[in-house]
A = this chain, B = another copy of it.
Amino acid sequence: MEKHRIIALKKGDILRERGDYIVISGYLICKLSRQLIHFVNTGDFITTDMTFANDIFHYEARSNVQLILVEDGSIREAREKREILQKKTMMCLARRMDLFLEPVGRRFSMFVYQAGAEVGMVQDNTCQLPPILTHQEMAKYIGCTREYLCGLRRKLIKTGKMVDGKGWILLDWDEWEREAYLFYNLPEVLEAEKSLDRQV
């Protein structure tokens, strides 16, 4: 039987050891410098061996996290997984950058959608976000004040897109997905992403 090394991280820890991993419990965020690029879910493959981008990205645990070090995969399989991750990371980076061209309301809703799509639990057309970011942190990553974020949140509740109460429970998830699809298929957005796609 093969032995696998398990790495344990606490909330706030940065994954520093070199290697390819699969998340077996908990949540992380992928960051560039101080900014959030994308969320990482249990089951996701991540690597700190990101030669593709000069290792400018790093992973921060947002809960207790357990990772399994993947050592027994074929080199080809690891390379393919890294390539997929690379493509995803670059796409997320460009999308995050581009979002700051949008009004704060859209920045907010697309950020909430991103969290839902990447780490949300979808059931019966409802998507529940795990409690891994405070309102203050969300506001910081979106580029607005906490007060403004709370106002935007209230608007979502008023329009029936979110449950009123603790946490983040998004209603009518199909509609969230439809809106994100429409946004990412606007001609100028599509054009920018297409050129990215050709290049990555």
Q: From A143, A145, A189, name the one whose CB has the most chain B CB atoms within 10 angstroms.
A: A143
Whether B101 contacts A56 by the Cβ 8 Å rule is no
A94 on the B face (CB < 8 A): yes
List the B residue with the shortest CB-CB distance to A35. Answer: B97
Please indicate the chain B residues that have their CB under 8 angstroms from the CB of A53 in the complex.
53-54
Task: Tell me which of A127-135, A168-176, A190-198 binds B.
Answer: A190-198
Whether, in the assembled complex, A96 has its beta carbon less than 8 Å from a beta carbon of chain B, the answer is: yes
Q: Of all chain B residues, which has the CB nearest A193?
A: B33
Q: Per DSSP, are chain A's interface residues mostly helix, strand or loop, or mixed?
A: helix
Whether A70 is near chain B, meaning CB under 8 Å from some CB there, is: no
Q: Measured between C-beta atoms, what is the minimum distance from A1 to chain B in Å?
A: 36
Known contacts A56-B196, A195-B58, A200-B54; A33 and B98 CB within 8 A of each other: yes
* A8 to B: closest C-beta gap in Å: 22
**Chain A residues within 8 Å of B, Cβ to Cβ:** 32-35, 52-56, 58, 86, 90, 93-98, 100-104, 107, 140-141, 143, 145, 188-189, 192-193, 195-196, 199-200
Interchain residue pairs with CB less than 8 A apart (24): A33-B94, A33-B95, A33-B97, A33-B98, A33-B192, A33-B193, A34-B101, A34-B188, A35-B94, A35-B100, A54-B86, A54-B199, A55-B199, A55-B200, A56-B94, A56-B200, A100-B100, A100-B141, A100-B143, A101-B140, A101-B141, A103-B145, A104-B143, A143-B143
